[in-house]
Amino acid sequence: MAQAAARIGEQGRYELIEEIESGGMGTVWRGYDAVLDREIAVKLIRPDIVVSPAQALEFARRFEREARVTARIGHHGVPQVFDAVLDEASYDRLYLVMEYVRGISLRRVLTDSGVTGTESDGAEAAAAVGLPVSWAASIAAQICTVLSYAHALPVVHRDLKPDNVLIAADGTVKVLDFGIAKLLRTDVTRLTATGHRIGTSRYMSPEQIDNAQITPLSDLYALGCVLHELLAGQPVFSGDNDYQLMHQHMDVPPKPLRTLRPEVPEDLETLVLDLLAKAPEQRPADAYAVYERLSPHLPQPGSAAVPVMLADGGSPAVVPDPTVVYRQPNAPLRRTTAPSLSPEPTALLPAPVRADTELRDAIRDAYSQSADLAEKGRFAQAADVLKALISTAATALGGHNPRVLGLRLQRAAILMAGGDFRRALPEFDALAAVYARTGGPADGSALECRRRAAHCRANLGQATAALREFREVLEIVSDMDGDASETALDLRRSIGVLLFSEGRRTEAEGVLDALHEDMCVLLGEDDEETREIAGLLARLRGPGEPGRY
């Protein structure tokens, strides 16, 4: 059996599923809110690194800072904090419950897409290319938007770097980790001992290195470092250690971008050099001024995408596109496309009996766990439990193995039960195609998937397509089992109710009247379903508003 997940919060509300990050101060877990049935990120203090009451207090205040600053910024470019337990007396119980963002770190984009060299890369680093100009401008512009909201409080991030920037699946850029942010014009307790610098040396402004006054312009210097790296494919400075890097930030002029990448527009080169000015007063006035200078390089609405590929582990994948917020501003949710089926491995070798037994046990446990979650109304988490196993099972057994298809069918059914018709529909369509190829168009599983797909379409407002599919399935079922079979009666009811909800009253009455006569004979007039159809007919024939599907 799978090990029970850890729970925190009142009555175990928050379930911790997997650790996704471990840093110097704490760990971040992917989890679920059992009450709201949604994915969350939970940040916990690492008790193993707390060596004194003073350090425990420092960490507690960092958590408090992150929770309150993030809540005050109130911008979609900063992950929301949903809940916080900040009792300084019990640091081992401190946690933040935050929005879980599916996406990719900007650091990984720079590294795994092959656009960034490091100090150890030698000649390869000098030959790095950088991201497309529209990508670099879009990422920097979205960061500017977040900084403008933070600086208005005023809050200074103090550790802006690619590791703290995330590109979400929809292209939104998120700025993370306000745990060491500084609230200006307030009596804020220092977070580190006197004389210790806060930030990351590769992106640290000269005034931070010099322990001088920190202002919003310090974040703009870090943004200049990030923008240079996005365009040049390598950091501004590449010292071998912190001392060398800090010396370079303090005293060495940055290389102009066009000496590293000639196609960079001249005004962007000038902007980066202005951001990297050693004296804060020589930098742009604020984040909005930087945004305005980036605007000419943002893609226009309706322009074509410029994809960037991630080649991690030899499996190319498209990176989420940060330009989409400018190319398709405030666009509707993208149309769902049918997922591609997992290919069956070629020349599969017989799997060891133990491995097969473990997989069988894992599948059984996943069914059991998802069923328990679905029974509690936690449909999103129930579907994800199955999703986590499908890829593993497909790799071991083949994408068309009955056990793999069964897992996918159960997941689609749970998504549908939870009202997530948009994600359930393409899976039902794909499964129907597989079952029809292997068992023919009259295969029972294929017909059941088509029937459920039609229900999804109806609930998504695709009435014409739903009616067509219901009728096509009914024709096959009637040819095999007649109009009075249980499946045929259910399909006829779905067609009648959908016609009713669409205001096609005459057609609906004809379908439901014939259905009612058959149900009276087969089930009896007093049967609950028979009475339901009689009620619909009464509403059709008398005054009243049409029902809702």
The DSSP secondary-structure symbol of 120 reads T
Beta-bridge mates of residue 7 = 15
Q: Name, in order, each residue with C-beta under 8 angstroms of 407's C-beta and a sequence gap of 6 or more.
A: 363, 366, 386, 389, 390, 393
Helix/strand/coil for 19: strand
CB atoms within 10 A of CB 400: 16
Question: What number of helices (H) and strands (E) belong to the chain?
Answer: 20, 13
User: What's the token pair of residue 529?
Assistant: 């379903």
Supply the DSSP symbol for 89: T
3-class secondary-structure state, position 44: strand
And the tokens for 490?
A: 């259910």
* Pairwise CA distance, residues 75 & 291, whole Å: 16
Cβ proximity of 85 and 34 under 8 Å: no
Structure tokens at 401: 């193995």
- SS3 for 303? coil
Q: Is residue 48 annotated as a catalytic residue, yes or no?
A: no
- Among candidate residues 442, 410, 439, the one with its CA nearest the CA of residue 427: 410
Of 159, 163, 219, 384, which is the active-site residue?
A: 159
Residue 31, phi then psi, degrees to nearest 5: -150, -165
Residue 276 near residue 225, CB atoms below 8 Å: yes
Q: How far is the CA of 459 from the CAs of 128, 325, 377, 452, 533, in angstroms?
A: 50, 28, 19, 11, 20
Backbone angles phi, psi at 85, to 5 degrees: -115, 115
Alpha-carbon dihedral sign for residues 427, 429, 430, 435:
positive
> CB-based contacts of 545: which residues, under 8 Å, 6+ apart?
none
Query: Is 359 strand, coil or helix?
Result: helix
Q: Is 281 exposed, middle or buried (0-12, 13-18, 19+ CB in 10 A)?
A: exposed
Task: Report, as residue numbers or ranges, the catalytic residues.
Answer: 159
